[in-house]
Amino acid sequence: MTAESRVVADIGGTNSRLAVFHESSGRFSSVATFRNSDHSSLEDILGLWQSNLKETCPANACFAIAAPLAGDRVKMVNIGWSFSRCELGHQFGFEHLHWLNDFEANAHALPHLQATDLTPVQPGKARDHEDVCTVGPGTGLGGAALRWIGGRPCAFAAEPGHMGLSPGSDLELAIFRELLPIHGNIYAELLVSGKGLVTLYETIAHIAGATAEPLEPAEVSKRALEGKDPHCQQALGTFCALLGSACGDFLVANGIYGGLYIAGGIAPRIAGFLQSSEFLERMHSKGAMGEHLRATPVSIVTAEYPGLLGAAHAPV
């Protein structure tokens, strides 16, 4: 389907963003961001956005969503939303509504990013049309691969947040001992996500015999970056180390070493801390594959709306 303009949406676990993308100019209009917790459903957000639209709503749309897309019924586990893709398209008058996973959209955005949209973490020579991966901690831990097939970019969604995680230090071993009886399985996004950062802080405080304060993820990061709370600093340091381990596993599992792009809402805010953390050391620590991983370019995506950019350029 080729269209002059399309509605694009990036529906995450915390925020939903909508816009109109104009193919002729490559620009967005009517961009709006909604905090999901302020609304009861995706339908409410779409209705509110359409009611405030100051331009004709295109009949074509591409929605990126933080959920597996198997069948018509979508269930967003992190926020408890559920809806029919078919019914939603009819309700809001879309003649063509294409769906993709949110990290498929992040992957489709990668060829369209500028140097100013990236913060380098590990140098390397990125080549055009080389296979790359994107991983991002936010409400969960998402990921996707972008492979070039027949000269065209093809995105493949994955769920690295539900891969297993292994301890790599004495502190992490103590954390795992605390959490394993509670959760029965230590999967990546249990610790490498916004909620995971809070879990790390609370568990580290408990191990130290201290009482954790009721903090939001942003407050844990803020205190760590300001150097005001040693437990927050340890939590953020452990978060970065475990993210490095998860990213290394994801690259090796996909056999992709052309580049790693760290997306999501957390990484841009802790870029300096992550660069000086054990992130790269842990990413490299994958046995015989370490040489390949040390040569893999790594960047943090700092573009304002990568999900919308990917939904705008995804083939539909």
pLDDT digits (tens, 9 = 90+) for 135-165: 999 989 999 999 999 999 999 999 999 999 9
* pLDDT of amino acid 189: 96
pLDDT of 2 over the 50 cut: no
Residue with tokens 């957000």: 45
Task: Pick the most confident of 10-14, 63-67, 236-240.
Answer: 236-240
| Residue 66: per-residue pLDDT | 87
Tell me which of 12-26, 69-83, 180-194 is least confident: 69-83
Burial annotation 282-308 (CB, 10 A radius, 16+ → b, else e):
bbbbbeebeeebeebbbbbbbbebbbb
Distance of CA 7 to the CA centre of its chain: 21
Q: Which residue has the higher pLDDT, 229 or 128?
A: 229
Average pLDDT of the residues of the chain: 94
pLDDT tens profile 256-309: 999 999 999 899 999 999 999 999 999 999 999 999 999 999 999 999 999 999
Residue 112 clears pLDDT 70, i.e. is over it:
yes
Give the per-residue pLDDT at 125. 77
Residue 67 pLDDT > 90: no
Q: What is the pLDDT of residue 3?
A: 54
Q: Name the pLDDT band for 177 (thresholds 50, 70, 90).
A: very high
Cα 148 vs. chain centroid, distance in angstroms?
Answer: 21
* Of the candidates 305, 263, 302, the residue with the CA atom closest to the CA atom of residue 11: 305
Is the Cα dihedral 281, 284, 288, 293 positive or negative?
negative
**pLDDT digits 0-9 by tens, 207-243:** 999 999 999 999 999 999 999 899 999 999 999 999 9
- Phi and psi at residue 258, to the nearest 5°: -80, -20
Q: List, in order of start, the domains of the chain with CATH numbers.
A: 5-108 (3.30.420.40)
Half-sphere exposure of residue 178: CA atoms within 13 angstroms, side-chain side: 18
Residue for token digits 């509605």? 7
Q: What is the pLDDT of residue 68?
A: 82
> What was the pLDDT predicted at 228?
85
pLDDT mean over 64-71: 87
